[in-house]
């Protein structure tokens, strides 16, 4: 795992900020490491962005204090007021201006939720996948009522750990029950939306829109989360040097942590 190119680059990026991989994402925490592999691209972005102090936030207070410190820029998109870190917002507005000049639009998917989210938002989204999937697998006979009841009663971080274990056995918790829940939504407290470095765009299928976003530092970095863009604040040619690898899926380009 550590022989891949992502970890050395990440370690270097974090040391410049006075922190380390072990500080933000302890190696003995399987959920944190999984999160780092799936969403970690944001940690090697430009130094114009503030990085979360941890891979997994565990309370609303912790999220609120990070968001306040990072700074919050708001802008109106149609009916929605969306909020992002200032550098991310100014790049997004720039991208939208360029898109509009070409007769295109960049709009938030699901309103304000397309950008900044609170800790409670991520818990609510978790439950929107966790509860129906639990019901499904109980009906399907893969989990007993007792197992389901025990899972429901666990603290949310423990639920995540156990769900990831069940997924190893093919008991998936994504919306369509065919893949890991982490491809469907982020685990509570872990979203790039909490970091205010993510924007879900309605127009993600349009290659011209993706290109405009990319030229303004916004890249797709989470496999299978198609409408989701991450602000890295970098040019595409800088990304391999940050430990990210280019991956093509369904004609779309993703830049994901290069971990073995």
Positions touching Zn ion (CB under 5 A) are 198, 200, 228
CB of 82 to Zn ion, least distance (A): 12
Element (H, E) at 219: strand 218-219
Strands (E) across the chain are located at 73-77, 80-84, 198-200, 218-219, 228-231, 244-249, 252-257
Minimal CB distance to Zn ion: which residue? 228
If the CB atoms of residues 75 and 171 are measured against Zn ion, the closer one turns out to be 75
Backbone angles phi, psi at 150, to 5 degrees: -65, -45
DSSP codes of every residue in 228-247: EEEE--S-GGGSGGGTEEEE
Min. distance of Cβ 182 from Zn ion in angstroms? 12
Question: Which one-letter DSSP state was computed for residue 185?
Answer: S
| Cβ-based nearer residue to Zn ion, 159 or 184 | 184
Q: Using alpha carbons only, what angle is made at residue 68 by residues 66 and 69, rounded to the nearest 5 degrees? A: 65
Query: CB of residue 97 vs Zn ion: minimum separation in angstroms?
Result: 22
Q: 109 or 245: whose CB is closer to Zn ion?
A: 109
CB of 59 to Zn ion, least distance (A): 21
Least separation, in Å, of the C-beta of 170 and Zn ion?
Answer: 25
Instruction: Say whether 140 sits in a helix, a strand or coil.
Output: coil
143 vs 191 by CB, closer to Zn ion: 191
CA 27 to chain centre: 19
Reading across the β-sheet that carries 198-200, which strands appear in turn? 198-200, 228-231, 218-219
Looking at beta carbons only, is 9 or 67 nearer to Zn ion?
67
Q: To the nearest whole angstrom, how small is the minimum distance from the Cβ of residue 99 to Zn ion?
A: 19
* Cα four-point dihedral sign 124, 49, 38, 177: positive
Beta carbon nearer to Zn ion, 173 or 229: 229
d(CA 240, CA 37): 15
């Amino acid at each position: 795992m550590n022989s891949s190119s992502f970890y050395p680059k990440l370690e270097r990026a974090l040391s410049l900020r006075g922190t380390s991989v072990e500080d933000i994402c302890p190696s003995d925490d399987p959920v944190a490491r999984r999160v780092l592999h799936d969403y970690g691209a944001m940690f090697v972005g430009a130094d114009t962005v503030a990085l979360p102090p941890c891979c997994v936030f565990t309370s609303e207070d912790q999220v609120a204090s990070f968001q306040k410190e990072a700074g919050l820029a708001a802008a109106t998109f149609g009916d929605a007021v969306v909020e992002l870190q200032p550098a991310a917002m100014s790049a997004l507005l720039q991208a939208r201006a360029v898109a509009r000049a070409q007769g295109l639009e960049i709009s938030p998917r699901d309103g304000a939720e397309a950008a900044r989210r609170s800790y409670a938002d991520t818990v609510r989204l978790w439950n929107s996948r966790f509860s129906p999937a639990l019901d499904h697998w109980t009906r399907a006979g893969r989990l007993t009522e007792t197992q389901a009841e025990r899972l429901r009663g666990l603290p949310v971080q423990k639920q995540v750990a156990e769900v990831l274990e069940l997924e190893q056995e093919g008991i998936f918790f994504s919306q369509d029950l065919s893949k890991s829940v982490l491809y469907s939504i982020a685990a509570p407290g872990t979203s790039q939306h909490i970091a205010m470095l993510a924007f879900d765009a309605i127009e993600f299928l349009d290659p011209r829109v993706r290109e405009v976003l990319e030229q303004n530092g916004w890249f797709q970095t989470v496999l299978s989360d198609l409408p989701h863009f991450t602000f890295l604040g970098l040019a595409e040619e800088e990304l391999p040097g940050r430990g990210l690898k280019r991956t093509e899926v369904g004609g779309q380009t993703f830049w994901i942590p290069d971990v073995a």
